[in-house]
Amino acid sequence: MASLAIVAEGTTCFRPHQFLARENERPEAIFRIEEGWAYRFHLFGDGRRQITALFLPGDYCEPQWGLGQCITQPVVAITPVRTTRIVCQPATAHSAEYHQQLRLALAKTIERQADWLVSLGRRSARERIAQLLCEIYDRLHDSGRAYAQQCAVPLTQQDIADITGLTAVHVNRTLQAMRSAGLVYLQSKWLRIPDMNALRHIACCPEPAPMVAATERPPVSWPEMNEHSGRP
């Protein structure tokens, strides 16, 4: 990742289950996660929960703030979390570099959410879980927190269910099936991925295996997409 935020305003810490932000609050700062995990979620009156974002070390939480917007979905810590507070001020108060970085973080958030939408809308349970674990591994890897196909993942199966739109029971069964297929080992908060490519293939995150050289390829991903959309 790029350089640090310019306008650091001191460190704030949170304990597991503590809120970084509550619904209907007007944020006075955004947080750069230095250490620990957190998530943004929606809770229904009847108990259904959906997690809509995962914040890992290095992420901005929540980058969309910075304008006087009101918070629509709360954020809570999973593990102990250490953050750098960045006070929200009129746009002029920060450096150009800072703005650039924030915009980049916003864009990244949108991209990740779009990927999750694809998962929730069109992938099977197995694919969703594979996809999620790949994403987590990659993100941790980028900040040097994963190596040798392994990393810590402090999520419960219920958490994974609420990310993937499944049931804790079904996550359990799917995870077991994947384990006995030798695809993924996720036990006591520790993840091991024997064959990254195999898992990525199941997640079908990158497009179907390219027939030509992987680097230069026409921007067409389906027959007859010259002028028309994917559905002929």
Partner DNA sequence: CGAATCGTTGAGCGAGGTCAAGAAAAGTGG
Partner DNA sequence: CCACTTTTCTTGACCTCGCTCAACGATTCG
* Torsions phi, psi for 99 (to 5 deg): -60, -45
- 230 contacts which partner out of a copy of itself, DNA, none, CB within 5 to 8 A by kind? a copy of itself
The answer to whether residue 40 forms part of the interface with a copy of itself (CB under 8 A) is yes
Amino acid at position 18, single letter: Q
Q: How far apart are CA 206 and CA 24, in angstroms?
A: 37
Query: Which CB, 30 or 193, lies closer to DNA?
Result: 193
Query: Which CB, 148 or 209, lies closer to a copy of itself?
Result: 209
Query: Which CB, 144 or 232, lies closer to DNA?
Result: 232
The answer to whether residue 95 forms part of the interface with DNA (CB under 7 A) is no
Beta-strand relationship, 60-61 and 11-14: unpaired
The answer to whether residue 46 forms part of the interface with a copy of itself (CB under 8 A) is yes
Query: Which CB, 71 or 163, lies closer to DNA?
Result: 163
The answer to whether residue 204 forms part of the interface with DNA (CB under 7 A) is no
Q: What is the 3-state secondary structure (H, E, C) of 61-108?
A: ECCCCCCCCCCCCCEEECCCEEEEEEECCCHHHCCHHHHHHHHHHHHH
From candidates 3, 187, 197, 226, binder to DNA by CB under 7 A: 187
Give the total of residues touching DNA (CB under 7 A).
22
Are 129 and 174 in contact, with CB atoms under 8 Å apart? Answer: yes
The answer to whether residue 200 forms part of the interface with a copy of itself (CB under 8 A) is no
Q: How far apart are CA 191 and CA 184, in angstroms?
A: 7
DSSP assigned state of 207:
P
> Could you tell me the smallest distance in angstroms from the CB atom of residue 48 to DNA?
8
The residues binding DNA (CB under 7 A) are 124-126, 156-158, 165-170, 172-176, 187-189, 231-232
